[in-house]
Amino acid sequence: MMQVKNGLRFVGFGHYVPPRIVTNDDLSKIVDTNDEWITTRTGIKRRHFMEDEDTNLDLALNAAKMAIEDAGIDPQEIGAVVLATVRPDNMTPSVACMVQKALGLSEYTPSLDINAACSGFMYGLSVAAGFLMQSEKRYALVIGSETLSRVLDMTDRSTCILFGDGAGAAVIELSEKHRYFSVLGSRGNDDYLVIPNNSDKRYVRMSGGDVFKFAVSTVPRTVEELIAVSGNTAEDIDWFVCHQANKRIIELVAKRVGQSLDRFYMNLEDYGNTSSASIPIALSEMNQKGLLKEGMKLIAVGFGGGLTWGGAYIEL
């Protein structure tokens, strides 16, 4: 369990998804599936896919600009850029470095990509907090940005129906008034959710049943740990924001922590599983809808390939 000693405050949120919408009916023309089958098992109705000319940088930069505008800050006050992704444009340079360049940030701005799969944004918050503890700058930019449509086998109905492209971002700062606790972990497993480093078959491969079991055991435990360390009860938490992978997973998590499902924000119907982008997209969308208010308490939890997990107790 980690506590950011100076606390952490979310100053601004942003998100961006490609304009191209791919519905369940669209997929039924490509692979043996249908809207009822997908919706019943996942809760997903549509997702966004990139066009051929789009890049991860395009998604990340749009989300970053929205977050900076929402924060109302001068980009030159940003002291670090941390970007979570499983599918960067290049192995190097990192997408984060390209974001730093595009935003015109100082060359003394540490910028890097990290890969913790669908837990990446939660990991990124802790990495960025560490940079801020050593920085003269006030803010850090944390982004989750994914181009998963580029690694989908469109003949495999067990995976191609699940994922979508998109990016979410947050501007954060250290704050004595806003407590922040996080729990991060990894089980070191490459059996259940893999993107092989193979030029011929670089597609997402997943054992859905095993990932499901991992999620419904790990996420409730993480939620309970964060509630306990923060000194709250479950009823004190205003919103629970889980990684948007499967509606059934979120329903079971709500049941296991004994809370109403309407306190668990869900938008996977519209975006599918956007991996590290799912939690920041959800937070940005909630902010856009006026659902996030000063003084609220949130718990956000991600889980993914690795097998990794990451959760945080957040005060707004």
User: Which of 1-10, 181-190, 195-204, 261-270 is modeled with the greatest confidence?
Assistant: 261-270
Q: What is the mean pLDDT of the chain?
A: 94
* 258: CATH: 3.40.47.10
| Confidence (pLDDT) at 5 | 61
| Confidence (pLDDT) at 10 | 98
Q: pLDDT tens for residues 1-49?
A: 666 667 999 999 999 999 999 999 999 999 999 999 999 999 999 999 9
- The model's pTM is 0.96
Question: Is 70 exceeded by the pLDDT of residue 170?
Answer: yes
| Confidence (pLDDT) at 196 | 76
Question: Is 80 exceeded by the pLDDT of residue 195?
Answer: no
Mean pLDDT of 255-274: 97
Percent of the chain with pLDDT over 90: 89
Number of domains forming the structure of the chain: 1
Active site residues: 118, 243, 273
Q: pLDDT tens for residues 59-116?
A: 999 999 999 999 999 999 999 999 999 999 999 999 999 999 999 999 999 999 999 9
Complete DSSP assignment for the chain? -EE-TT-EEEEEEEEE--S-EEEHHHHHTTSS--HHHHHHHH---EEE---TT--HHHHHHHHHHHHHHHHT--GGGEEEEEEE-SS-S-SSS-HHHHHHHHTT--TT--EEEE--GGGHHHHHHHHHHHHHTT-SSSEEEEEEEE-GGGG--TT-HHHHTTB--EEEEEEEEE-TTS-EEEEEEEEEE-SSEE----SS----EE-HHHHHHHHHHHHHHHHHHHHHHHT--GGG-SEEEE-SS-HHHHHHHHHHTT--GGGB---HHHH-B-GGGHHHHHHHHHHHTT---TT-EEEEEEEETEEEEEEEEEE-
Q: pLDDT tens for residues 198-216?
A: 666 678 887 778 889 999 9
Residue 53: give the domain boundaries: 1-316
Q: pLDDT tens for residues 114-144?
A: 999 999 999 999 999 999 999 999 999 999 9
Question: Is 90 exceeded by the pLDDT of residue 169?
Answer: yes
